[in-house]
Each structure stands twice: as C-alpha cells, then as structure tokens.
Structure 1
C-alpha cells in the first residue's frame, strides 16, 4: 500500500495534500469599475444646477469555500493590541478639559483659599473622569500583559502546528484528513473527519513537541 493511501478506503485517486486542497479552494480578486453619476446641486446666486461626474471604485478581497475554512493553516503569530484606546483618549480629554477650566481661575485669583477652591472644582468636574482614566489604564496594562503572554505561548507551538498541517493529506471520497504512516518520523498515523481537522493537527503537533 502506498504511503499516502487513504487509511479508511485504501485508495489513492482522491487523496491530495492539505496545502494543495486549501490552495485550490481559495482565491483572491482585485479590480476596478468606472461609472457615471448625475444629479441636481445648488449654486449660490444661480439656483439648482445639473451635476454630472465620473467615479472609479476599486475592489479587492479573497474568497474561500467551507472546506478551505475547515482546513485553513494555523495563523501566523501576531501580537494583538488591547482595546479601549479610544475610550482612554476621551477620558484624558475630559480630564484635560477640566484642568483648562480650573487653571486660569487659579492663576488669576488672589484669594487665600483659591487653591482649595480650584481643587474642589477640579474634583467635581474632572474627578470621576480621572478615576475612570486610572482604572482603564490599569485594565489596559493587564490586558496587554495577557495578550503578550498568549502571543509568546502561541509563538512556541505555532511552528509545530504549521509542520503538522503541511504533512497532512485529505481523502475527498471519505472526507477524512490523515497523517500518513511514518510521516514526520513519528512512526504512526493519525486520522480524523474533516470537521475535526484542527484537533488532528493539534494532536500531531503535540507529538512533534514530545507532549503526547
């Protein structure tokens, strides 16, 4: 029996490597289309006028089949950014706005208790935003540490996942994915239905790392 015969049906004619199947099931596209539009505008001193113009629309993207989504390769490690950046910027803007309101009064006032009054006003105006800013900053720092830890952990296992993915085959007749006998020097085979393909890849990757 050939090394890449399907372990379920024993045939070879419908067997292909997973990378080749994935490539055949995905495609990218790009292009442009030009059109003309007309309408009615308003010109000062003239009134309603007809308008006519030309526009070009550029499009690009990719398409994939359901099978391609099921057997997609493991993603490349990428460090994600923590969320909440816009919210933090808004809170900081409110805090600075409260400071801008209070500071001129503090600098121009000659009253002995001007500092205390200004701090009180700032606390009323910007205090809640300042507290929220500190809380969100701490939350983002915690989220950043978590994302970095997950990135580092995935960066360690991703090479073995990519190797396992590249070595697997797919039988279109049986709709099963499998690692051929003796592939990658593991001395054994593995097989799973297409919906469980990711589990198969993870199992083979653990064997490559000596964890199973």
Structure 2
C-alpha cells in the first residue's frame, strides 16, 4: 500500500495533495467592461443636440470553492498598521484651530494679562482636544507595539504551518484530510473531516516545533 493511501477507505485514486486541490479550485480574474450611452442635451444658442458617452469599469479579484476555503493555506505574516490616523488628524486640527483663533486676541487686545487669559481660554476650549490627541497617540503606540509583537510571533511559527499544510493530503471520496506516513518526521496523522483541516495543520505544526 502506498504511503499516501487514504487511511479511511484505503484507496489511492481519489487522493490529492492539498496544495494541488487548492490551486485547482482557486482562480483569479481581471477584466474591463465598457458601456455606452446616448441622449440629448441643451446647448445655449444651439438648442437640443444629441449627446453620447461611454464609461469603462475595471474589475479584478479571486474566487474559490467551499472546499478551497476549508483548506486555504495559513496566512503569511503581515505587519498590521494601526488605525486612527484620520481621527488623530481631525482632533489636532481642532486644537490648532483654537490656537489660531486666540492668537489675534493675544497680540491685539492690549491687555497686560492677555497671555494668561489666552492660555486659560485655550486650556478650557482646546485642552480637551489636546488631551484626546495625547490619548490617541498613546493608543496608536500601544497598537503598533502589539502589532509588531504579533508579527514577530507569527513569523516564528509560520514556517511550521506552511510545512504542515504542504505535506497534507485529501481524499476526495471520503472528504478527510491527513498527513501520510513518511511525509514529515512527525509521522502520520489521523484523518480528520475537511472542516477540521485547520486543526490538523495547527497540531502538525506544533509537533514540528517540538511543542507536542
């Protein structure tokens, strides 16, 4: 018996490697469509004249079967970018606006306490925006640190996940996935239903890393 025979039905004719099945059931597409329209328009001094127009739409993307979605490869590590940049810009703009509004008072009022009064007014009116901006900056720094830590952690384990995924096979007759004997140093894995394929990859990857 071949080492890649299905452990459930014992046959080989419907056994395929997971990467080959995923590739065959995933496709990308790109295209361009052009539409035309006609009508009438009114031009000053001319009157009603015919008008024509066209529009072009570019589309692209990918599609996959339900089976391909179950056996999708582990996502590669990507460094996530923290959000909130637009909100921070708006808050800083409001704080700056209050400063600009108070500048004429500071230089033209002639009041000897103009500086103190302007500082008090800015603290009352613009202070909440400054406080919000500081808190948003702290939160962005925290999010950036967490994203970097998550990226580094995933980068460490990703090779084992990719290796486990590449070594897996699927029986299209029984709809079970498994890692056959001899494919990896971890030995054969038990067959699992297709919907539990991510668990199979995670378990095999943990064994490759010596954690099980």
TM-based fold match above 0.5: yes
For 2:101, the equivalent position in structure 1 comes to: 101
For 1:189, the equivalent position in structure 2 comes to: 189
Deviations 1:42-89 (A, max 9, x none): 656667654311222211111111111110001111000112111111
Greater shift, 132-141 or 160-169, is seen at 132-141
For 2:91, the equivalent position in structure 1 comes to: 91
Greater shift, 51-60 or 4-13, is seen at 51-60
1:70-89 → structure 2 map (5 Å cutoff)? 70-89=70-89
Deviations 1:135-184 (A, max 9, x none): 11111111111111111100100010000000000001111000001221
For 2:30, the equivalent position in structure 1 comes to: 30
Cα distance in 2 for residues equivalent to 1:197 and 1:93: 50
User: In structure 2, the residue corresponding to 1:184 is in which secondary structure?
Assistant: coil
- Judged with a 3 Å threshold, the aligned counterparts in structure 2 of structure 1 residues 135 and 185 are, in CA distance, closer, same or farther, namely same
Structure 1 stretches lacking a partner, 5+ long: none
1:32-51 → structure 2 map (5 Å cutoff)? 32-41=32-41, 43=43, 50-51=50-51
Instruction: Tell me the matched-pair count.
Output: 212
Cα distance in 1 for residues equivalent to 2:51 and 2:128: 51
Asked whether the 8 Å contact 2:40–2:49 carries over to 1, the reply is: yes
Answering whether residue 171 of structure 2 is matched by residue 171 of structure 1, we say yes
Cα distance in 1 for residues equivalent to 2:197 and 2:131: 48
User: In structure 2, the residue corresponding to 1:185 is in which secondary structure?
Assistant: coil
- Judged with a 3 Å threshold, the aligned counterparts in structure 2 of structure 1 residues 190 and 35 are, in CA distance, closer, same or farther, namely same
Greater shift, 104-113 or 143-152, is seen at 104-113
How high is the TM-score relative to the length of structure 1? 0.94
How high is the TM-score relative to the length of structure 2? 0.94
Name segments (4+ residues, structure 1) moved above 3 Å: 39-50
- Judged with a 3 Å threshold, the aligned counterparts in structure 2 of structure 1 residues 133 and 46 are, in CA distance, closer, same or farther, namely farther
Greater shift, 36-45 or 146-155, is seen at 36-45
For 1:159, the equivalent position in structure 2 comes to: 159
Cα distance in 1 for residues equivalent to 2:124 and 2:44: 48
Greater shift, 50-59 or 81-90, is seen at 50-59
CA RMSD across the alignment? 1.6
Cα distance in 2 for residues equivalent to 1:97 and 1:45: 48
Cα distance in 1 for residues equivalent to 2:206 and 2:11: 28
Cα distance in 1 for residues equivalent to 2:128 and 2:44: 48
Cα distance in 1 for residues equivalent to 2:39 and 2:120: 57
